[in-house]
Copies of this chain bind each other. A is one copy, B any other.
Amino acid sequence: MTARTPSRTLGESVRDIPEATVARLPVYLRALNTLAEADTRTCSSEELATAAGVNSAKLRKDLSYLGSYGTRGVGYDVDYLRYQIAREIGVTQDWPVVIVGIGNLGHALANYSGFRSRGFRVVALLDADDTRHGEVVAGVDVRAFDDLEEIVTTHGVAIGVIAAPAAAAQDVADRMVACGITSILNFAPSVISVPDGVDVRKVDLSIELQILAYHEQRKAQLS
């Protein structure tokens, strides 16, 4: 227990969770959601590990940070573990999000059901192109980039998504930070710099393709 951590109920983790574990929690949550959709009530660590694509020792270690150890001979309660992980990640709360850049990718993201189902609510789509303003995409208004500050303040937006072209990404990030946004998801194929205290995650849509290419190459070598 550190001075900064208020008292917690028994079973809750008070430790800082390693970054690699944090990155796997959404993967476990997705696997648990799939199990729940199939009406599975309990699962062993081996079943969950297979569904998530990790080994079961790593899974058990990761879940131990959440104070979750399962029940001997029974395994994990799917619904309760979903709740524990969702609470730990913070997706039990509502996260208003703005998306900047309303090209095909911005459109696709606005329509992406996986955001809404995890508590991410797109409150506005912003674009520098005046001719797009007033459009409604996936039930969300397209607004002027100049409205960013007002929208961030009104909705308490902490997370911004950049779906703008690479050349505009740094400008967009600077404006987001100036408006008080402290987490940025960058889909633009460029590196952005931000001050300390602002988190940036970059999505590279080609990473998974490269992993597939590696395995394809191995298959070709072995056949």
Which residue numbers of A lie inside 8 Å of B, CB to CB?
4, 22-23, 25-27, 29-30, 34, 88-91, 93, 95, 97, 103-105, 107-109, 111-115, 118-120, 158-159, 161, 166, 182-185, 189, 191, 197, 199, 201-217, 219, 222
Contact = CB atoms under 8 A, between A and B. Distances in A.
A199 B215 contact: yes
A97 B209 contact: yes
Nearest to A207: B26
Contacts of A25: 210, 214
A118 B210 contact: yes
Contact of A114 (B111, B204, B211): B204
B213 A27 contact: no
Contacts of A109: 205
B216 A183 contact: yes
Contacts of A197: 219
A91 to B, nearest CB: 6
Contacts of A161: 209
A206 B22 contact: no
A161 B213 CA distance: 13
A103 B108 contact: yes
A161 B208 CA distance: 11
A113 B189 contact: yes
A117 to B, nearest CB: 8
